[in-house]
Structure 1
Amino acid sequence: MVFFLGIEDLLNLKNVERIKKELKVCFPSIDTILDGLSPREEWDEFCDMTNCTDIFCCLERQTFEGILNCFTESVGTVFGSLRINSKVAAATSNWWTLDSVELLQIHLLLANEKNSTGIDIPIYLPVRSPKTPFRLVYWKLTQHADICLLCGPTPSLAELEKEVKRFWRTAFALLKSAESCYPANIPQDVVLDKNVLSYLVINTEKRRSLSSLSPHMGDDHSHLTPLRKRDILRTFYKTVVGTMICLPGPNDSHDSQEVFMNFEYYSLHALVSEVYLILTLYPSGLHNYYLRSITKSTLKTLTNEKTFKWT
């Protein structure tokens, strides 16, 4: 409610009926949060459950960050991100200073605007700016890529459109190349063990996550569709986190913690190592010591700083 109306309107309820009407703008985001119990079919993110930003890894990231920094500077803001398939592919350094709750609220709002080519609406940041609104500007670059800005009253939407075209029209080929990393969400030259059917890696220190429901081209496990894999990982996370294993914190000893679950058609392994939690889905019939070896290798690959800058 603070995100849409600001803290002052909520504390000074002089006109309850007006507030009731204005609160209707919150309903889509509330519905999306409640949908987390049974997400809609196209939902392949985990941020609503983990409170971590979903990341998209591509080789073009550094180039995108350079364009994004120049673009945001030209329009007078320090808050900007480029998203591919609703996952953050590049962002300004100040974007990551926003509270994880604020980043989640922005994502939930944009999740209900997928069919829009652009939006320009006032929002309040519950932690950073609960009294003074920012403009949330969202602009679709391609079918699967968009940019998101937080800015002040200027520039106008028309001026922003000119700057979008000026900075991003030469990047369309790069955007198309980056989009080809989906649904693995990692560069195509990064190969994971064929037994990894899906994964979720969380950096608990930076509140970011990397995941894929189809990490290999031409997955042939027909009995486990991407939708089914998503539901399995979400259930696994809710079952083990906070009960069987704890997320790593600043005072932890960083000792590894792990959980195995084996079923008729699949196996699951959760591993905590340093600041990371990784959940991995495997086919059934593999020994736990083999699962442990693959999980550790997968985590090492996906958190390699030379290839993956999301960590």
Structure 2
Amino acid sequence: MSCDSNASDHSLNRLLENVFSTMVLVIGLDDLMNIKNVERLKKDLRACYKLIDSFLTESEKIGDLTQCVDCVISNDSVILQECLDGFTQAAESEFGCLLIGGKVVVATEKWWRLASLDAMLLCWLVSSLSPHSSRDYPVYLPQGSPTVPHRLLTFQLVPGVDVCILCGPSPSLQKVELELVERFWKPVLDPVKSCLRLQLRSFPISLNLHQGILGFLLINRDLNKSLYTVQVHPFEDTQRSDIKCILEHRRASLRSFYTLTMLRYFSPEHHDGKIQYEEAFPEGFTHQAHQCYVVSSSHKCYATKTDLHFLFLLFKTNVPTFSMRAIANKTMQVFTKEFNF
């Protein structure tokens, strides 16, 4: 079951992994493996429905496929990072992040060291829940702690923006909400509100990319975080009456190209013993591909691989094929050098 009628085996297997991991996240591995009361289990699993539904619908995020954390880049990231670090430390935790629509604006160093699947699921969980001023939500980490629960505390700073911390038995939700939230976040309320403008584009409007780029996906392989958008030029897109269908097509094209490229050419090294779903590289080729491209009647795609990043670009058809490599290199440099993504 998927919203994509052309879903590949790889994406369907990712969906199954995400669904099972969601059940572990919400009720724990022990209750799934040792079922004592089927009716009670069915009732408990209802808490998973909204998160699972989010994997089955069109989304402005791509973490369900990449199992990386969706992010945005803010011009105010330095001050927001300082605020988050101080807030998290005061709340007796080392794991915290600032979220906008399920995308990370900034996160603590330890947050980035969570298993990528765990971090991705936590972000998607928060965005799937109904808006609330604060929450104290018990969670299991499917890879990091599948049998021992932690507490996920979330606080809505402004509608659409939440700060989250992962902690143990202390502190209490009331203490953090009454003593810490206003103290740390009220002074930076304007930068927090400005994050709302980043949700669709994922990076500041002041940054201009090549006009031929329709969308892109940039993955940091070390921290397992990603930058993804199909609205690189939002003002241009808003002039079109059929923009909804156009964006759906762009998302489908970029997801399909990512899957094709990762399965056939950029297959990462795996050391966890899991069964993978990569296709064999065509016989006769002994080298490792570092770039690839696809040309169709509706768009062009280009991908490049470095030691630290993957970059996937969706282009307009009028972009010369020979120029895609240079545009990709310049785009990579903008985000990895200027913004240190």
Q: What is the TM-score with the length of structure 2 in the denominator? A: 0.80
Superposition deviation, residue 233 in structure 1: 0.9
Aligned to 1:115: 131
Structure 1 pair 49/276, CA: closer, same or farther in 2 (3 Å)? same
The structure 1 residue matched to 2:43, chosen from 17, 21, 28, is: 21
Instruction: Indicate conservation of the 8 Å contact 2:254/2:314, yes or no.
Output: yes
Instruction: Indicate conservation of the 8 Å contact 1:204/1:247, yes or no.
Output: no
Where in structure 2 are the equivalents of 1:33-112 lying within 5 Å? 33=55, 35=56, 39-40=57-58, 43-112=59-128
The reply to whether residue 308 of structure 1 matches residue 339 of structure 2 is yes
Aligned to 1:232: 253
Aligned to 1:208: 225
After the TM superposition, which of the residue ranges 23-32 and 100-109 deviates more from structure 2?
23-32
The structure 2 residue matched to 1:219, chosen from 217, 233, 236, is: 236
Cα deviation 1:9-56 (Å, max 9, x = unaligned): 3343333332232222223323333x1xxx33xx20110010011111
Query: How many Å separate the matches in 1 of 2:194 and 2:127?
Result: 23
Tell me which amino acid in the other structure corresponds to 2:48. Answer: C
Q: Secondary structure of 1:174's match? A: helix
Q: Secondary structure of 1:133's match? A: strand
After the TM superposition, which of the residue ranges 269-278 and 206-215 deviates more from structure 2?
269-278
Superposition deviation, residue 250 in structure 1: 8.4
Instruction: Indicate conservation of the 8 Å contact 1:2/1:126, yes or no.
Output: yes
Q: Secondary structure of 1:171's match? A: helix
Q: What is the TM-score with the length of structure 1 in the denominator? A: 0.87
Query: How many Å separate the matches in 2 of 1:57 and 1:171?
Result: 17
Tell me which amino acid in the other structure corresponds to 1:177. Answer: S
Aligned to 1:192: 209
The structure 2 residue matched to 1:32, chosen from 54, 68, 77, is: 54
Where in structure 2 are the equivalents of 1:264-283 lying within 5 Å? 264-283=297-316
Where in structure 2 are the equivalents of 1:254-265 lying within 5 Å? 257-265=290-298
Superposition deviation, residue 286 in structure 1: 2.7
Instruction: Indicate conservation of the 8 Å contact 1:233/1:281, yes or no.
Output: yes
Q: Which runs of 5+ in 1 are unaligned?
A: none
Structure 1 pair 147/269, CA: closer, same or farther in 2 (3 Å)? same
Structure 1 pair 293/88, CA: closer, same or farther in 2 (3 Å)? same
The reply to whether residue 149 of structure 1 matches residue 180 of structure 2 is no
Where in structure 2 are the equivalents of 1:121-140 lying within 5 Å? 121-140=137-156
Q: Secondary structure of 2:205's match? A: coil
Q: Secondary structure of 1:115's match? A: coil
Cα deviation 1:138-195 (Å, max 9, x = unaligned): 2211123211111222222222211111211111111123333443322333221111
Query: How many Å separate the matches in 1 of 2:97 and 2:90?
Result: 15
Tell me which amino acid in the other structure corresponds to 1:81. Answer: C
Q: CA RMSD in A?
A: 2.4
Query: How many Å separate the matches in 1 of 2:340 and 2:304?
Result: 21
Structure 1 pair 297/114, CA: closer, same or farther in 2 (3 Å)? farther
The reply to whether residue 8 of structure 1 matches residue 30 of structure 2 is yes
Q: Secondary structure of 1:194's match? A: coil
Instruction: Indicate conservation of the 8 Å contact 1:257/1:272, yes or no.
Output: yes
Aligned to 1:246: 266
Query: How many Å separate the matches in 1 of 2:41 and 2:270?
Result: 41
Aligned to 1:180: 197
Larger helix proportion of the pair: 2
Query: How many Å separate the matches in 2 of 1:175 and 1:201?
Result: 24
Q: Secondary structure of 2:312's match? A: strand
Instruction: Indicate conservation of the 8 Å contact 2:26/2:139, yes or no.
Output: yes
After the TM superposition, which of the residue ranges 219-228 and 45-54 deviates more from structure 2?
219-228
Q: Which runs of 5+ in 2 are unaligned?
A: 1-22, 272-285
Query: How many Å separate the matches in 2 of 1:140 and 1:254?
Result: 50
Query: How many Å separate the matches in 1 of 2:85 and 2:287?
Result: 35
Tell me which amino acid in the other structure corresponds to 1:155. Answer: P
Superposition deviation, residue 254 in structure 1: 10
Tell me which amino acid in the other structure corresponds to 1:77. Answer: S
Cα deviation 1:243-286 (Å, max 9, x = unaligned): 2x2244489x9965222222223211122233322111111133
